[in-house]
């Protein structure tokens, strides 16, 4: 599967959401994500104790892993059960080893992974005409089916608002026009940050 990542300029432009986390917090979370993956491969324990009150807040998060610029795994939680700090560690491991679209990450790949984190706001109901491509992620549900797409997905694929709604319906396993036929539409924002390693 080949899906190119957003450019560093996109991530830093404020396109997705306003900046809430300091550079030190971003670096800490990215380091934790790497260490979480390595700890699994090396079969060692790491601490999930949040180092600051901010990182102890319960927040949803997604981890996207890239190898040589292409997607290598992506998993996240919209509704976390733990602190953001622990959630980042868990979603990084899940992206590395539990994304069924890919083989599990190997020890040889781990050191070359680039990690992108998306820290999510709580989802809120929204009218379709108020959705902003690049700012909002979508959660659409109906009759026990539910699909989620992050804000950067619409930007990566150059989707307009209608296409974004249709594709989120498809992600849920619903007809593409379900958003017009009673499906619940919720939006969230994401602070997206990552790293770029030499290839």
Q: What is the pLDDT of residues 5-14, one digit of tens each?
A: 444 444 444 4
- Tokens 């030499």 correspond to 198
Q: Where are the domains of the chain?
A: 8-121+190-194, 124-188
By residue count, the chain amounts to 199
Cα angle, residue 31 at apex, residues 73 and 4 outer, rounded to 5°? 35
Give me the pLDDT at residue 41, please.
96
The residues near 109 (Cβ < 8 Å, ≥ 6 apart) are 67, 72
Across the range 18-41, mean pLDDT stands at 93
Q: Are strands 184-188 and 124-125 parallel, antiparallel or unpaired?
A: antiparallel
Which one of 3.30.700.20, 3.40.350.10, 3.40.50.1010, 3.30.70.20 gives the CATH number of domain 8-121+190-194?
3.30.700.20
Q: What is the pLDDT of residues 66-77, one digit of tens each?
A: 999 899 999 999
Mean pLDDT of 5-26: 62
CB atoms within 10 A of CB 70: 13
Name, in order, each residue with C-beta under 8 angstroms of 57's C-beta and a sequence gap of 6 or more: 83, 84
Looking at residues 115-120, what average pLDDT do you find?
94
Which residue, 181, 175, 146, 151, is CA-closest to 164?
Answer: 151
Architecture, CATH, for domain 124-188: 2-Layer Sandwich (3.30)
Computed over every residue of the chain, the mean pLDDT equals 89
Strand order in the sheet with 70-77: 70-77, 60-67, 114-120, 190-194
Beta bridge partners of 49: none
List Cβ neighbours of 47 (8 Å cut-off, separation of 6 or more).
none
């Amino acid at each position: 599967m080949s899906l190119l990542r957003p450019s560093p300029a996109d991530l830093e432009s404020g396109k997705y959401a306003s900046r809430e986390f300091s550079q030190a917090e971003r670096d800490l979370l990215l380091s934790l994500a790497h260490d979480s993956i390595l700890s699994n491969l090396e079969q060692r324990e790491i601490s999930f104790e949040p180092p600051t009150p901010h990182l102890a807040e319960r927040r949803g998060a997604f981890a996207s892993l890239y190898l040589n610029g292409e997607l290598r795994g992506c998993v996240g939680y919209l509704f976390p059960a733990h602190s953001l700090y622990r959630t980042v560690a868990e979603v990084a491991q899940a992206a590395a080893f539990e994304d069924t679209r890919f083989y599990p990450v190997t020890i040889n790949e781990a050191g070359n992974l680039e990690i992108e984190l998306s820290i999510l706001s709580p989802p809120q109901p929204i009218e379709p005409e108020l959705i902003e491509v690049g700012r909002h992620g979508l959660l659409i549900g109906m009759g026990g089916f539910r699909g989620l797409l992050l804000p950067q997905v619409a930007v990566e694929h150059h989707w307009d608002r209608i296409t974004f709604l249709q594709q989120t319906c498809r992600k849920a396993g619903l007809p593409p026009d379900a958003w017009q036929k009673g499906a619940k539409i919720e939006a969230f924002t994401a602070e997206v940050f990552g790293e770029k390693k030499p290839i």
